C-alpha cells in the first residue's frame, strides 16, 4: 500500500475527474477481503455504501486492516483511511489524529456529502479497535 504522503502528492497534482479515478484505483489496490469477513460485526455504520473493516492484529503489536466496499469511490476513501493507519502499532493508531492526516485531501469539498458522511465512522471504528487491542 502506498503511503498517504505519496498518494497526496499525486492527488494534489490532479483535478476533479482525475481525483475520482485515483480514488477508484486506490480502492482496486486494496488487499482482497474474504466474503466471510463481511458481516454485520465488521460493517461500518452510517455510510451510504456498504463498508466493511476487519482488523488483523500482528504478533509485533501492529495492526493490519482488511476492508472493502460495494461502491468504487467509497472503496477508494476506505483505502485513504487505511493508508493513514495500515501496519502501525495499535497504540500509535489509537493516539493519532486520522482526520488531520486526511485533511489535506479536503474530501468534504471534493466529494458529495453522501460519499464522505461515513468517514468519521470509519475512523472511529479503526481507532476504537486500536484502543481495545493496545489495552490488551
| Catalytic residue IDs | 47
15-22, long-range: CB within 8 Å, 24+ apart, which pairs? 16/110, 19/110, 20/73, 22/76
> What residues pair up with 89 in beta bridges, in sequence order?
62
Does residue 106 come out as left (phi exceeding 0), alpha (psi in the -120 to 50 range) or beta? Answer: left
Question: Which grid cell is 29?
Answer: 489496490
Amino acid at each position: 500500500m502506498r503511503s498517504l504522503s505519496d498518494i497526496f502528492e499525486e492527488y494534489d497534482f490532479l483535478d476533479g475527474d482525475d481525483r475520482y479515478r485515483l480514488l477508484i484505483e486506490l480502492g482496486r489496490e486494496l488487499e482482497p477481503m474474504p466474503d466471510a469477513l463481511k458481516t454485520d460485526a465488521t460493517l461500518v455504520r452510517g455510510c451510504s455504501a456498504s463498508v466493511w473493516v476487519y482488523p488483523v492484529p500482528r504478533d509485533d503489536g501492529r495492526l493490519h486492516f482488511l476492508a472493502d466496499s460495494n461502491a468504487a469511490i467509497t472503496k477508494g476513501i476506505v483505502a485513504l483511511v487505511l493508508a493513514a493507519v495500515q501496519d502501525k502499532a495499535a497504540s500509535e493508531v489509537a493516539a493519532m489524529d486520522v482526520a488531520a492526516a486526511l485533511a489535506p485531501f479536503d474530501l468534504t469539498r471534493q466529494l458529495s456529502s453522501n460519499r464522505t458522511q461515513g468517514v468519521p465512522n470509519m475512523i472511529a471504528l479503526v481507532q476504537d479497535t486500536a484502543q481495545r487491542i493496545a489495552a490488551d
